[in-house]
Structure 1
Amino acid sequence: MSRSTKTVGEVLIDILEANGVDTVFGIPGVHTVELYRGLAGSKIRHVTPRHEQGAAFMADGYARVSGKPGVCLLITGPGLTNAITAMAQAQQDSVPMLVISGVNARATLGHGRGKLHELPDQRAMMASFCLMTHTLLEPGDLAEVMARAFTILGSGRPGPVHIEIPTDVMSAQIPATVPKAAPRLRPRGEKAVIEEAARLCAMAARPLILAGGGAVAAADAIGMLASRLDAPVITTANARGLLPGHPLAVPASASLHSVRAEIAAADLVLALGTQFGPTDYDVYVDGGFPKLDSVIHVDVDAVQLSRYPDSRVSVLSTVENAAADLLSLVPDVLPTRGGAERASLLRQSARSELSAKMQHEVAILERIRTALPGLIIVGDSTQAIYAGNLYYDADRPHGWFNAATGFGALGYGPPAAVGAALAEPGTPVVCLTGDGGLQFTLAEIGSARDAGARVIFLVWNNDGYQEIETYMIDNGITPEGVKPSAPDFVKIGEAYGLPSWRLDDISELEAALKSAAGHGGPTLIEVHERHTRGLRL
């Protein structure tokens, strides 16, 4: 017999299901157990990390690959503060994340009486970087608040949303109505604005497209538009794999001189879903990115459109909608602009601009890609990832992402790779992490095993924070604090029950990856710059 009422915690699970949530990440505690009351009877899978930061990083990786919000259930106080780093990374990289936390009972809020896990004002702390934060003081407001949260997550520029529920509200009884999915309001450019953008596209003699992370969902339409305009497509790190193998694709950073020269030579730049942030456009902080005189800037966020560059046409729209609208107006037959030749020359010049060491690292990344076609590489801040962000061509959308952009959080890779693997269980996922970064979230190897996540943890061991050590030396600073000791990662992997091995020679990499991919769960492979022959020039 159906019930006329349910607890807030039970209805919350119903609402999550109605909005397409199939996985949540969290560590249950006394401040959230009532949110779990309806979980066992639902179709939602619960994944338990070893740390709340890991929960939110998992949600991040899951969201990037699935396209759906990553969802966390966290206790009040330390559970939520542990996740702030990962939530801030999601804010920087525009990743949809829904964090539902506990908070102490309503009558205690703001009194500072030393309640367990108490903060002076938890919601105010989250308001500094969340798209929305709300304290559910009235149980009957649950459906309305959750609808607003999901609409925000699915409509404009994505990011973290936070809902906190007091412990006494979680167990309150409310009507057990059938929840509905929240509306997604995807902006579309005004007709006159799109028409002007199409006119400029048709007139351009040397057009060029800059595609950021906000463009990935529109890969097919962008490919058709680029072909029609005969325009090279330069992708930021978060857009790599947008047009795999396409003759117009240029998987190179706009921080490289050759790429900047091509951008400067364009008479029209079509900027799609990109923030023009320094970690993509000025990674060396030399201020050398060219001034753009003729830009069509497409973004879902009006605030982003108000920032650099001063665009000729600003289009408030999803990239999917804008690309489709432009395709309907730009003529099918346009004069050739030499786009494929420009793109080919730019790929060659951009790659040759890398140091010999970086070119070697990119070649190893390409060996990984060749060994496991269609794979996802989830990176941490390590030297091979830095090289790949400058130049690497993923062979699929969402096939390359990492924490070495935007907020730049170490320890991102292992839990984010777990989330990615759970979003696409049949896809090979390689977590490329350094010995330093892995130790930030080392225990999430155990979470991967519990969840059966088929992640290959590829540990690039260079005995410390080599990137920082090199930076210190280059700037005349005696290196200090850059040699943290590391455990035997193979033994650590084996202790968690993972098949684990260390390569003697880099020539063994492809076979090792294929063997690891055939395993039914997580594995670990270590390559060491001093002990693996061929890893370092």
Structure 2
Amino acid sequence: MKTVGEALIAHLEQRGVDTIFGIPGVHTVEMYRGLADSPIRHITPRHEQSAGFMADGYARATGKPGVCLLITGPGVTNAITPMAQARADSIAMLVISGVNRVATHGHEEGFLHELPNQHAMMREVALWSHTLHRAEDLDRVMTRAFTRMTSARPGPVHIEVPLDVMNMPVAAPATVPALPAPARPAPDAIERAAQALSNAERPLILAGGGALGAAADITTLAERLDAPVITTTNARGLLGGHPLEIFASPSLESVRAVMAEADVTLAIGTQFGRTDYDMYEDGKSPALRHLIRIDSDAAQVSRVRLPDLPIVADAALGVSALLTATEGKQRVHDAAARATQARDAALAEIGAAYADQITMLHMIRDAIPGVRIIGDSTQAIYAGNLICNMPAPRRWFNAATGYGALGYGAPAAIGAALGAPDTPVLCLSGDGGLQFVLSELGTAMDERAAVIFLVWNNNGYQEIERFMRDNAIEPEGVKPSAPDFVQVAQAYGMPAERIIGIAALTQALDRALAAKTAYLIDMIVD
């Protein structure tokens, strides 16, 4: 027999969890009893918001759920922002928290960390939230949490364990129940989709973050159909710079032109989210003729864009079935030429300033082979979300689309570096965004996460200042003073340097790589 807290950790071990992000407190110590002899690694950030962002970065880098262990009250309220970001981007995240004793719920008698109804608050942002009232329910609750978090459209889930339940005795799990298999596509729908795609004169593929697990098959299908592939921000690098990949935003007119001329469009794992398809809110995203939509979530498949043919299925299984159904139906169009034309037109469309920043991003990509660039909401990241050619999936992600939370970059980069330590990680944050989570430089040093922190230092919220001026608003509140980032990094024992402008960046990156530890580059830009 174990306590519920100990058994819960044993469940996580058996589900393959190897890392937990959290800050211990009196409302979670019983679960830490289970961690003492566990192979699970515990990472202590400086703030619970960062714990959530670290779990997010870990999940995106590894493809496994990110897990947080947090105290009741302020612990979970601090985690709401990263949970909302994870929900917007369909990232699997499990948040486990304590909560006060069951008999105290709803009475507001002033207990430590008390909320009127923590469960009700969390279920508004989580896909599913549950209060564990009985020890014997632990197996079922954990299985349901992993099922809800990873099947259909993934996202954050929450389990809260009352203090008086946490130390109840319960049998340790010998094995854990199997999770449901991914949804398979209906054969008749696949046959209809294959026929339409094979007969198309200008087929097109749209790929979102939900398509990452099908990268190789999507490349093969695109080559067979001779169809260009437009990748959204979260799918960037899906085809690894293949001639058929249009690694540019479908919010750009030049990319929308390709969408408008397609006679059959296959959308795979994409939400058609406004920040991807209509980030300028001009309402000019084109209608799509004969839209076939593959999505693992039956509810999602009918949001925003109603398909002519919906296929509710796991992306990898759906694309694999389409490959079988289109066997021997090789088509030859002018897709590579159209993709090249769209990429070139997109680069010309965005203007010189953004084009220069994209050149910098590609320079970073080439200077650090295999690098994963993780960003905050800052100018160079906005540029890369418009156009960025990455050599593989999961090498480019940030919080500048969807929920759009500032302070994401640094903790997400740390989580990614810890989850996949063999892949180099560069975090690109603005001087404003980094100050949301500046103390996490200490976490990077504590955990030996060899992240290169590149600060895009333009002395404030320059993008917002520009937006105000463009709309005839006198700028206000856009010049928060920044510390000496080099001295702050060095105070945590992190090597750091300051450079002026992009021209000095290549040599600075060489020095950062040679350091073989976390490293900060404060780049002053105008």
Category of TM-score, reference length = shorter chain: over 0.9
Verify: 1:528 aligned to 2:524, yes or no. yes
Distance 2:193 2:420 in 1: 37
Tell me if structure 2 keeps the 8 A contact 1:154–1:185: no
What residue in structure 1 maps to residue 104 of structure 2?
A: 108
Q: Counterpart of 2:215 in structure 1: which amino acid? A: A
Match of 2:472 among 472, 476, 481: 476
Match of 1:20 among 16, 20, 27: 16
What residue in structure 1 maps to residue 52 of structure 2?
A: 56
Distance 1:417 1:213 in 2: 18
What residue in structure 2 maps to residue 409 of structure 1?
A: 405
SS at match of 1:503: strand
Q: Deviations over 1:184-214 (max 9, x none)?
A: 4311111111111111111101001110010
Equivalent residue runs for 1:194-213 within 5 Å: 194-213=190-209
Tell me if structure 2 keeps the 8 A contact 1:133–1:162: yes
What residue in structure 1 maps to residue 217 of structure 2?
A: 221
Match of 2:242 among 233, 243, 246: 246
What residue in structure 1 maps to residue 379 of structure 2?
A: 383
Q: What is the TM-score with the length of structure 2 in the denominator?
A: 0.99
Verify: 1:47 aligned to 2:43, yes or no. yes
What residue in structure 2 maps to residue 126 of structure 1?
A: 122
What residue in structure 2 maps to residue 337 of structure 1?
A: 333
Tell me if structure 1 keeps the 8 A contact 2:10–2:172: no
Match of 1:185 among 170, 181, 199: 181
Distance 1:332 1:424 in 2: 38
Tell me if structure 2 keeps the 8 A contact 1:18–1:181: no
Match of 2:138 among 126, 135, 142: 142
Match of 2:257 among 256, 261, 283: 261
Distance 1:77 1:516 in 2: 40
Tell me if structure 1 keeps the 8 A contact 2:96–2:158: yes
What residue in structure 1 maps to residue 34 of structure 2?
A: 38
What residue in structure 1 maps to residue 79 of structure 2?
A: 83
Give the drift of 1:508.
2.7
Tell me if structure 1 keeps the 8 A contact 2:232–2:248: yes
Distance 2:443 2:487 in 1: 17
Give the drift of 1:335.
3.0
Tell me if structure 2 keeps the 8 A contact 1:271–1:297: yes
What residue in structure 1 maps to residue 348 of structure 2?
A: 352
Verify: 1:11 aligned to 2:11, yes or no. no
Match of 1:420 among 413, 416, 420: 416
Q: Counterpart of 2:370 in structure 1: which amino acid? A: G
Q: Which moved more, 1:172-181 or 1:17-26?
A: 172-181
Verify: 1:237 aligned to 2:257, yes or no. no
Verify: 1:312 aligned to 2:308, yes or no. yes
SS at match of 2:265: strand
Distance 1:427 1:516 in 2: 15
Distance 1:357 1:126 in 2: 41
Distance 1:12 1:335 in 2: 53
Give the drift of 1:354.
1.1
Tell me if structure 2 keeps the 8 A contact 1:218–1:323: yes
SS at match of 2:497: strand
Verify: 1:328 aligned to 2:324, yes or no. yes
Q: Which moved more, 1:311-320 or 1:519-528?
A: 519-528
Match of 1:300 among 280, 287, 296: 296
What residue in structure 2 maps to residue 277 of structure 1?
A: 273
Distance 1:315 1:86 in 2: 30
Distance 2:358 2:180 in 1: 39
Tell me if structure 2 keeps the 8 A contact 1:96–1:153: yes
Give the drift of 1:8.
0.6
Tell me if structure 2 keeps the 8 A contact 1:298–1:316: yes
Distance 2:278 2:357 in 1: 21
What residue in structure 2 maps to residue 158 of structure 1?
A: 154
Verify: 1:467 aligned to 2:459, yes or no. no
What residue in structure 2 maps to residue 287 of structure 1?
A: 283
Distance 2:275 2:452 in 1: 27
SS at match of 2:441: helix
Shift in alpha-carbon separation, 1:418–1:181, aligned structure 2, 3 A:
farther
Give the drift of 1:401.
0.3
Distance 1:211 1:181 in 2: 32
SS at match of 2:452: strand
Distance 1:504 1:475 in 2: 30
Tell me if structure 1 keeps the 8 A contact 2:139–2:176: no
SS at match of 2:515: coil
Q: Counterpart of 1:355 in structure 2: which amino acid? A: G
Distance 1:363 1:40 in 2: 48
Give ranges in structure 1 of 5+ residues lacking alignment. 531-537
Give the drift of 1:177.
3.4
What residue in structure 2 maps to residue 533 of structure 1?
A: none
Give the drift of 1:181.
5.2
Q: Deviations over 1:306-337 (max 9, x none)?
A: 12322111000111011100000013243311
Distance 1:296 1:464 in 2: 44
Distance 2:500 2:118 in 1: 50
What residue in structure 2 maps to residue 436 of structure 1?
A: 432
What residue in structure 1 maps to residue 496 of structure 2?
A: 500
Tell me if structure 2 keeps the 8 A contact 1:428–1:517: no
Tell me if structure 2 keeps the 8 A contact 1:151–1:185: no
What residue in structure 2 maps to residue 93 of structure 1?
A: 89
Q: Counterpart of 1:185 in structure 2: which amino acid? A: A
Give the drift of 1:397.
0.8
What residue in structure 2 maps to residue 29 of structure 1?
A: 25
Verify: 1:370 aligned to 2:366, yes or no. yes
Give the drift of 1:279.
0.4
Give the drift of 1:175.
1.4
Give the drift of 1:441.
0.7
The alignment-based identity, stated in percent, is 58
Q: Counterpart of 2:457 in structure 1: which amino acid? A: N
Aligned-CA RMSD value: 1.0
Distance 1:137 1:519 in 2: 50
Q: Counterpart of 1:191 in structure 2: which amino acid? A: P
Give the drift of 1:169.
0.9
SS at match of 2:333: coil
Give the drift of 1:163.
0.1
Q: Counterpart of 2:46 in structure 1: which amino acid? A: R
Give the drift of 1:77.
0.2
Give the drift of 1:505.
4.9
Q: Counterpart of 1:124 in structure 2: which amino acid? A: A
Give the drift of 1:158.
0.6
Tell me if structure 1 keeps the 8 A contact 2:486–2:498: yes
Q: Counterpart of 2:39 in structure 1: which amino acid? A: K
